[in-house]
Amino acid sequence: MLRSMLASIAVVSGLVLTMPALAQAPKPDERTVTDAYLYLLDRALVIRQEHLDRNGEGFAYNTIKYNPLASADFTNPNFDVAYFEAWFAVDDNSAAVLEIPEIKGRYYTVQILDEWGEVIANINDRTFPSKPFGKYAIVKPGSKAVIPEGMGRIELHSSKAKMLGRIELKGDPDGAVKLQREFKITTIGEPNIPPPPAMPLFSQSDLIGAEIFDNLDERLASALDVSPPAAEMQQQVRAVAAYAASSKEARAEVDGILRKFIPKYREEVLVTTVPYVNHWACAASAGNYGWEYRHRTGAAYTGIWTNNPREVVYFGAVNDAQDKPLEGSNNYVIHFPADGLPETVVDAYWSVILVDFPGYRVVPNPLKRYNFNNHSPLAKEPDGSLKIAIGPKPVPGIAETNWLPSPEGKRFSLTFRTYVPKEGPRTCTWTPPAVEQVN
């Protein structure tokens, strides 16, 4: 109707004027399309994860899922901790009440993230010294819910948030699991909880294309983005979406740009979105990203629910010391000198895990050995240095206790974590040694 009206003849001051036909949305260039895509992909990855979580057995909002050890079902899991997770969902007149037990002598944190992957809070004895345990009310901005006296109050960025809890195993998995079960969530009121926006359940290796711009208003309106570039990037996203919706040819053109871009992005995401130092990607600005929306998307793609550097700095490797892709059929070694052992750069613990590429999922092996940390029974060299071996079979000359099995004939990635890192990891002036291929 609008098109026919604009094309109609109007009479103005006795003159007959012909109005132009409805203008087509302007054609964006490739960089505009890919930037808009990278901005929106972050939200799409979080929406996908909410759908996956909702499809899990026994799921309910404001209910803790106590993950069995070594079983977290998301990219780049951490096998050094007992995990528990939940989705908070509240409205104007309700609250979720999180109860945290007192924990002494081991690392723990309760990480709360918004629906764009930005960290809202970490609750632990370091960041919340005035209230490291007890009850906390989780509320929507401007909540009218009546909160009992004595509860802490944590205001979300919208009506939903993800909670991810970690309790260090510290050589005592039974103790960690016992503590895990002492975390509880109850509710005040009865929140009205909308479902997440519709989203095709794409895979890591087959990312969503032009469909990402469908249903755009609902996806953007479903969660507030607190990042500084949100307004300008959402305008850019809407412009690309309008062009893609203008004709079948325009949609195919946008999809073609993305299908050309995605394989390159998937290959280079770790080494292009954060500082690449000593052949490791140093994610020392994760968790709260500021203007770096590309980093936020990269973090959601390679390891969703990334924490901030006050808690952990992540290092990722997909290449060896010669910048050749890590291949599961080869033998490698990571050699820490005696005066540069990983435990010297953390106040909590360190770990390294081997995952597949590009899925960033754990690789099964007969030993069920997926990671090492500072509690692993690793043998030191006579000079006090530490060698971690990686290969399809034990690497000659290195203790078998120090061997991480790799997937023969397939690529893989390494994630090295430094929990409660000192200055070196936080500034990327310390990294793990480069991964050296050995014969």
pLDDT of 1: 36
> Is pLDDT of 361 > 50?
yes
* Of 3 and 132, the one with more pLDDT: 132
The predicted pLDDT at position 8 comes to 34
> Is pLDDT at 347 greater than 60 in this prediction?
yes
Buried b (16+ CB within 10 A) or exposed e, 213-251: bbebeebbebbbbebebeeebbebbbbbbbbbebeeebb
d(CA 90, CA 161): 9
Q: Where are the beta strands (DSSP E) in 36-183?
A: 65-66, 81-89, 95-100, 108-113, 119-123, 134-139, 152-155, 160-168
Q: With cut-offs at 50, 70 and 90, classify the pLDDT of residue 15.
A: very low
CA dist 412 and 325 (Å) reads 8
Do the domain assignments include residue 21?
yes
- Does residue 430 sit in the same domain as residue 288? yes
- pLDDT value of residue 76: 61
Tell me, yes or no, whether 42 and 106 share the same domain.
no
- Cβ neighbors of 252 (< 8 A, separation 6 or more) are none
User: In this structure, what CATH number is given to the domain that contains residue 332?
Assistant: 2.60.120.600
Residue 10's pLDDT band (cuts 50, 70, 90): very low
312, pLDDT greater than 60:
yes
Same domain for 205 and 67 = no
Indicate whether 227 belongs to any domain: yes
Residue range 43-66, pLDDT digits in tens? 999 999 999 999 999 999 999 999
| 96 part of a folded domain | yes
**Would you call 51 exposed, middle or buried from its count of C-beta atoms within 10 A (0-12, 13-18, 19+)?**
middle
Is the pLDDT at 18 greater than 80? The verdict is no
Asked whether residue 399 is assigned to any structural domain, the reply reads: yes
User: Which of 142, 164, 138 has its CA nearest to residue 151?
Assistant: 138
Q: Are residues 9 and 134 in the same domain?
A: no
Number of domains in the chain: 3
Q: Model-level pTM?
A: 0.85
The per-residue pLDDT for range 163-213, each reduced to its tens digit, is 999 999 988 999 999 999 999 999 999 999 999 999 998 998 899 999 999
Q: State the Cα–Cα distance between residues 386 and 393, nearest whole angstrom.
A: 19
User: For 245-361, where are the alpha helices, taking DSSP H only?
Assistant: 248-272, 293-303
What pLDDT is stored for residue 119 in this prediction? 97
Q: What is the pLDDT of residue 272?
A: 86
Spatial CB neighbours of 137, under 8 Å, sequence gap ≥ 6: 95, 96, 97, 145, 147, 148, 151, 152, 153, 154, 188
- pLDDT value, residue 13: 33
The reply to whether 135 falls in a domain is yes
Task: Tell me which residue of 97, 96, 64 sits closest to 167, measured CA to CA.
Answer: 64
- Domain boundary among the residues 159, 188, 217 is at 188
Is position 56 within any domain?
Answer: no
Tell whether 57 is covered by a domain.
no
Final residue before a domain boundary, out of 270, 295, 311: 270
* Tens digit of each residue's pLDDT (9 = 90 or more) over 61-120: 999 999 988 665 556 667 788 999 999 999 999 999 999 999 999 999 999 999 999 999
Residue 15 belongs to domain spanning: 2-51+197-270
pLDDT score at 75: 62
Domain termination residue (choose one: 223, 244, 270): 270
Are residues 324 and 211 located together in one domain of the fold?
Answer: no
Both 72 and 157 in one domain: the answer is: yes
